[in-house]
Structure 1
Amino acid sequence: MIKGKIHSMETLGTLDGPGIRMVVFFQGCNLRCLYCHNPDTWLTTKGITISSDEIINKAKKYKPYFKFNSGGITFSGGEPLMQPEFLLECLKKCSEEGIHTVLDTSGVGYGNYDEILKYTDLVILDIKHSDKEKYKKITGLDINSYYEFKKHIIKNNKNIWLKQVVTPGINDTYEDMTEFENEVNSFPTHIIQKVEILPYHTLGVFKYDNLNLAYRLKNVPILSKERLEKLKAYLHIEKLV
């Protein structure tokens, strides 16, 4: 039995996929996004060592809630794709139990994507930016890994929710929104179930202090509701919420 590293688990979540969900936050992430609010998930040397059976046995207790409103289990992070073997084992066991699965990811991992997507019911894909220079500025990494995972989503005809965090001074212009819209439109329309732009917030800044890490957006204000609504109104995306 494969064991993996997780940061934490949340029960009865309502924001990480359809219905009521149990959310498993994987430990480890290669990205270093400027606005990341979970720097405590970055290192795979940290976290809780756990087996897939421990996760599934816990999830089974919530199956009545899942069935009531089409809920299930969401694998988030950190970045779940950094632990592909452990993730795949969890997904397979969910499938055996008839539990709906969501993969919440930035699409940057260590491969085996076709097999992973075979047991994934829905992907929530975080689009950092479609411009390669801005993508690297935001994440610290090259955009090609994201494109590789995107290719497998399309190949496997996998249902997706698409999202992007909008940060003042980083990706909050109308030109940025046009880039985002073009990226959304590059996916087959029939697999897109939902599109969302999320406002930058500072709720995780205290974690940087606790970890003795410099927070690089210290003087950047949160994105106002008014600005968010203007950007949403600019977009012409059918399934934008």
Structure 2
Amino acid sequence: MTGRTPAAPRSAPPVPDGSVHSWDTSIGVDGPGTRLVVFLAGCPLRCRYCHSPDTWYGRSGRRRTVDEMVALAARYRRFLRVAGGGVTVSGGEPLLQPAFTRELLRRCHALGLHTALDTSGFLGDRADDALLDATDLVLLDVKAGSPATYRRVTGTGRLAPTLRFARRLAERGTPMWIRYVLVPGLTDAADEVARVADVTAGLTGVRRVEVLPFHRLGAHKYAELGLAFPLADTAPPDAELLARVRGQFAARGLTVT
């Protein structure tokens, strides 16, 4: 024996407060069933079609503790479970606050609630295994099929991190819903869609693909913030274009909505 006193076990670092923009409930949009959706503030991307520019900056949110947000989920718990839903952490970009997101998902999961992470995947490397272990579903926004179009859509960033994150989720067996925003003149080229469809078809765990038609419903937020809406003159896709793009995904054997 050395006579040394055993070192005290290291305590886990405290979970930082999160910058929470808002929360709301939705049905069948942000995951299965009725969801409590927590929108975190802050995003590294500036997507041309973004309908929530008010979530771009962390300062646009209010500081909240995990305890506060879990208490909110607990109040909705019975209703969410009966409605086949759960909790979705969205944004902004929730992986800009990985420690807060991890603990919120973990504790909601411990309540017996289905958990979903809504992310662009651009910061997917920040999602550690503990975060993904507490995530039942990832809503992955694949914004483009080529690096050049990705830059046009987002104004910054690279496509590669999203694809790397998607492959990691597939290897883990994490269920995914792939989201693709269809913007005429920006993301509607047949070869662009084909690239996304090919990548998606090669991923295990994809439960469905959501082709989301571009809309201008968030234009008033740009005006309120004194910003120009980049796609103010772009019309939503018509039924023919939507059918063609959805058909491209369906032709790869994917379930499309």
Question: For this structure pair, what is the TM-score category when the shorter chain's length is used for normalisation?
Answer: over 0.9
CA distance in 2, matches of 1:152, 1:115: 14
SS at 2:108 equivalent: helix
1:159 to 144, 162, 175: 175
Q: Which residue of 1 aligns with 2:254?
A: 238
Identity %: 35
1:89 aligns with 2:78: no
1:142 shift after superposition: 1.4
1:129 to 140, 144, 147: 144
- How many aligned positions are there? 239
Give deviations 1:191-238, integer Å, cap 9, x for gaps: 111111110000001111111112211211111233212322343133
1:12 shift after superposition: 4.8
Inter-CA distance 130–12: structure 2 relative to 1 (3 Å threshold): closer
Inter-CA distance 204–179: structure 2 relative to 1 (3 Å threshold): same
Structure exhibiting the larger radius of gyration computed from Cα positions: 2
> What letter matches 1:91 in structure 2?
L
Q: Which residue of 2 aligns with 1:120?
A: 135
Q: TM-score, normalised by structure 2?
A: 0.88
1:222 aligns with 2:236: yes
Q: For structure 2, which runs of at least 5 residues remain unmatched after alignment? A: 1-14
Q: Is the 8 A contact 1:167 1:200 kept in 2?
A: yes
> What letter matches 2:126 in structure 1?
G
Q: Which residue of 2 aligns with 1:22?
A: 36
Aligned pairs for 1:1-241 (under 5 A) are 1-109=15-123, 111-139=126-154, 140-188=156-204, 191-235=205-249, 236=251, 237-241=253-257
CA distance in 2, matches of 1:230, 1:91: 37
CA distance in 1, matches of 2:74, 2:168: 29
Q: For structure 1, which runs of at least 5 residues remain unmatched after alignment? A: none
CA distance in 1, matches of 2:82, 2:239: 33
Q: Tell which deviates more after alignment, 25-34 or 178-187.
A: 178-187
Q: Tell which deviates more after alignment, 74-83 or 227-236.
A: 227-236
Q: Is the 8 A contact 2:101 2:131 kept in 1?
A: yes
> What letter matches 1:17 in structure 2?
G
Q: Is the 8 A contact 1:79 1:108 kept in 2?
A: no
RMSD of aligned Cα (Å): 1.5
Give deviations 1:12-31, integer Å, cap 9, x for gaps: 54311001110001101001
